[in-house]
Homo-oligomer: A and B are copies of this chain.
Amino acid sequence: MNDKLQIADKTFSSRLFTGTGKFSSSALMKSALLASESELITVALKRVDVQDKDDDILSHLNHPRINLLPNTSGVRNAKEAVFAAQLSREALETNWIKLEIHPDPKYLLPDPIETLKAAEALVKLGFVVMPYIHADPVLCKRLEEVGTQCVMPLGAPIGSNKGLKTQDFLEIIIDQSNVPVIVDAGIGAPSHAAYAMELGADAVLVNTAIAVSQNPTAMAIAFKLAVEAGRIAHQAKLAPIVHKKAEASSPLTSFLN
């Protein structure tokens, strides 16, 4: 089955994107991320020593399969985001940027206004922009219109592990989108990841749920399998949910009589 995901100039075999935060050690991070077979891994620019090519995190992610996706986590507005992205492009030699603008340190929810403004500017500057946003269908369309290469709506508050609480809106976003839809934030279990893929998401990004598991490497494998399961199920089409009246798996007959 040739079911690759295309974003800008890159082609991905894996639809599980991952992150580098919260692992208890770099060795565990490396083991888990390799086991996940993820090909796109986000790293917070603020955690990288951009002066140092031998930076610890970067050296662990140095692998032919892995594409680095720097993110702007920590910036509070469009201006800071654009500056951070430019810094990142220079230091890490990639024009891909995960755009995260969350002014509020408590819930880390994204700012729709600043995100759109920064996205527009960054697209003009030649970036491949992957914006982390609320599951707001209108905002997703506007981001697509200014040229982002995908949209990354959240499933639930980041770090909550609550799953697809925004399901009703993700369905609309998926229905309307002309760019890949990647569910970001809130995915706390492989079943959540499978569900996102069943709904028709093009990929998911998982970080916390892998990093804080008692066994991150095993959990990474679980997510890999779940994403594959959900993708296959989406293509094979799920049986419809039947309301009110049940039907037997096999017809009743009077076989005993």
Contacts and interface: CB of A to CB of B under 8 A. Distances in A.
A46 interface: yes
A85 to B, nearest CB: 11
Given A159-B248, A249-B158, A249-B207, A172 B107 contact: yes
A121 interface: no
Contact of A74 (B113, B232, B256): B256
A221 interface: yes
30 contacts: A19-B249, A19-B250, A20-B250, A74-B256, A80-B256, A102-B138, A107-B245, A111-B142, A134-B134, A157-B168, A157-B169, A158-B246, A162-B241, A162-B242, A165-B167, A165-B168, A189-B195, A190-B230, A191-B198, A191-B230, A194-B229, A212-B239, A213-B233, A213-B238, A214-B236, A221-B232, A222-B229, A223-B233, A225-B228, A226-B229
